[in-house]
Structure 1
Amino acid sequence: MRTGRGTGVPMALGVVAAGCFATSFVLNREMSVAGGSWLWSASLRYLFMLPPLVLLVWMRGGLPGVVRSLRARPWSWLGWSTVGFGLFYAPLTWASRAGAGWLLAATWQLVIVAGILIGGRVPRRTLAVSLLIVAGVALAQTQNAHGLDAGTLARVVVPVLVAAVAYPLGNRRLLGRDGLDGVQRTLAMTVGSMPLWVVLAGAASLRVGAPGRDQVVQCLIVALMSGVVATTLFFRATDLVRDRPAALGAVEATQAAEVPFTLAGEALVTGVATPAPAGWAGLALIIGGLCLHALHRPPTTPRPYAAPTPPEAAAVEAQAPGA
């Protein structure tokens, strides 16, 4: 796989993914305000994701690899997929009842620091730039934080903090597993987390009955835009830089772009207020931090000797997208 040393392409993929991810924050809040159950919002996304993902992976010829990996490591896929997808999305949808999409998107940026800390040793520069992005997120949302009580903030911050740790943890534990690429891994993790979504859908049926038509349509949009398109793009981006911690942290930092995307989306859907000067300053810090991540080129160092690549591994790399 030709990953190169730059981060331009992975960063671009990450920003596009962030725009698609933003649909979750906007539409989950819209569904919550309209009275839709968070249980349906969470479970329907992944139930709707499964058929198009199966079709996509099958058309790319990657379905046998996914099946082999799931059969070989069922408990690994079940456990880490439940963490990476289940403990990520269920808390986010639950939190959408208590706070606006912008508040969730801003708090979600804790995932940047969480991903860096989970990854272990990372250059100080990468950590500093990521903290700059988080500071920009906080500054961008100061105008919106006025008037929110501590209880509301806790009901948003605590579940989103759980999600921010679970998502990179589950993602990294399954990076490169059995040579699966980003699209295959998205399908495998969707299958692995499916028991949780079936349980939540059953609980929703018992508690509130069938979902309304509007909620079904909105969940379908979230499933396609955020679940299929955004997740596969983001996983592809992390696959490209999985052997470089600094670049991986930079790609994960592109998720900060979800904040301006969410603000724009809520302005169209719910009429959220335009950012004040402090808000625009925060957005400038976010964009500046993303640019610093994208433009940074680590110094070239001699590579240590590595044994020749076995034919089986070379075959796996040759099947990956972009190879």
Structure 2
Amino acid sequence: MREIVLGILASLFFAVTFILNHSMELEGGSWLWSSSLRYFFMLPFLLIIVVSRKGLSAVTQAIKMRPRAWLLWSFVGFVLFYAPLTFAAAYGPGWLVSGTWQFTIIAGVLLAPFFMQYVDGKAIRQKIPLVSLVISSVILIGIVFIQIPSAKGISIESLLFGIIPVIIAAFAYPLGNRKMMDICNGTLDTFQRVLGMTIASMPGWIIIAIYALLTVGLPSVSQMIQSLIVGISSGVIATVLFFIATDRVHNDQGKLAAVEATQSTEILFVIIGEMVLLNVPLPEPLALLGIAIIIIGMSLHSYYTMLLKKKSSLVVQSRQTTTELKNHS
């Protein structure tokens, strides 16, 4: 439950991304700057945190040991995740992007076979947790209900360019995150891992920034300020909270799916944020039904996670009792 609460808190700060990215696009800001500036602003804050904790040398050593892996999966987890999201904001409203992004719940579950679990020294390919997949599908149904009233009148171009890039991002984020968890294998804490991935993703962001400079010119002051807010809120606070939660449960695909499913609450925060900041009206009844379904799905995930924890505790107690009886005999 602690990890699920951390995931929901992360979603609250992640929601800032969708609201401000769309706001920047409405003001004429380029998605190229919206994406790259976030990570440029993240870097100094993360450096201050890690240096103050005396953990910078461990980060540099880890990157030097496996530079190709760091560059590849940091690119996947950060660049291939965030650049498509900001691109989609140029073609679709915040609700469309944030709603489609919830496909990452299903994507995270489907990625399980790409990872190995070691039991008694043997590598076993992980299986898709079917119960988590069913529960995540319930949440997805709720998200579809939210989208239906707003989807009326959206052009085909907006649908394609507002949805396909987000689906790519939905797979890239959990894939990059999980691969880096395997590579670090507990040797780095969350702050160190986020800093390392930010540093390793810098080549991609520098290329995007140079292209932006040559094509659209310098960003406006407003876009820089909003990107700074996104960098602190989503890039530092939300990413660290979410990575802490996934780090704690990364060995259990069911619990990991439950934590990743907390991202579905982002759309709730986006709707509230747009109502308050952008004067967007209250969603239609069908959308409110979708919100209720999402809450039910999250409750089911929480309940299922508690059952897994209880079952695990009973197994451990049973083994301890068996061992004590053998030793006594």
Query: Do they superpose with TM above 0.5?
Result: yes
Tell me the CA shift for residue 58 of structure 1.
Answer: 1.5
Tell me the CA shift for residue 295 of structure 1.
Answer: 2.3
Cα distance in structure 2, aligned partners of 1:85 and 1:13: 20
| Match in the other structure for 1:279 | 287
- 1:181 aligned onto 2:174: no
| Greater alpha carbon shift after TM alignment, 148-157 vs 103-112 | 148-157
| Matched residue type, 1:100 | P
Cα distance in structure 2, aligned partners of 1:212 and 1:47: 16
Tell me the CA shift for residue 273 of structure 1.
Answer: 2.4
| Greater alpha carbon shift after TM alignment, 178-187 vs 278-287 | 178-187
Identity %: 45
- 1:32 aligned onto 2:25: yes
8 A Cα contact 1:176 1:239, kept in partner:
no
| Match in the other structure for 1:293 | 301
- 1:224 aligned onto 2:232: yes
Runs of 4+ in 1 over 6 A off after TM superposition: none
TM-score, structure 2 as length reference: 0.88
| Matched residue type, 1:39 | L
Tell me the CA shift for residue 232 of structure 1.
Answer: 0.5
Tell me the CA shift for residue 177 of structure 1.
Answer: 3.0
Cα distance in structure 1, aligned partners of 2:25 and 2:198: 24
8 A Cα contact 2:77 2:176, kept in partner:
yes
- The 5-angstrom pairing of residues 1-323 of structure 1 reads 8-120=1-113, 121-178=127-184, 179-296=187-304, 297-298=307-308, 299-300=311-312, 302=315
Higher helix content, 1 or 2: 2
Structure 2 unaligned residues grouped into runs of 5+: 114-126, 320-329
8 A Cα contact 2:109 2:129, kept in partner:
no
| Matched residue type, 2:212 | A
SS at match of 1:143: helix
> 1:273-295: CA deviations, max 9, x gaps?
21111111111111111111112
Q: CA-atom RMSD, angstroms?
A: 1.4
Give the total of aligned pairs: 298
Cα distance in structure 2, aligned partners of 1:208 and 1:197: 16
TM-score, structure 1 as length reference: 0.89
Tell me the CA shift for residue 42 of structure 1.
Answer: 0.5
> 1:156-204: CA deviations, max 9, x gaps?
1110011011111111111153311222111111011100111111111
| Matched residue type, 1:131 | S
| Match in the other structure for 1:321 | none
| Matched residue type, 2:160 | A
| Match in the other structure for 1:316 | none
Structure 1 unaligned residues grouped into runs of 5+: 1-7, 306-323
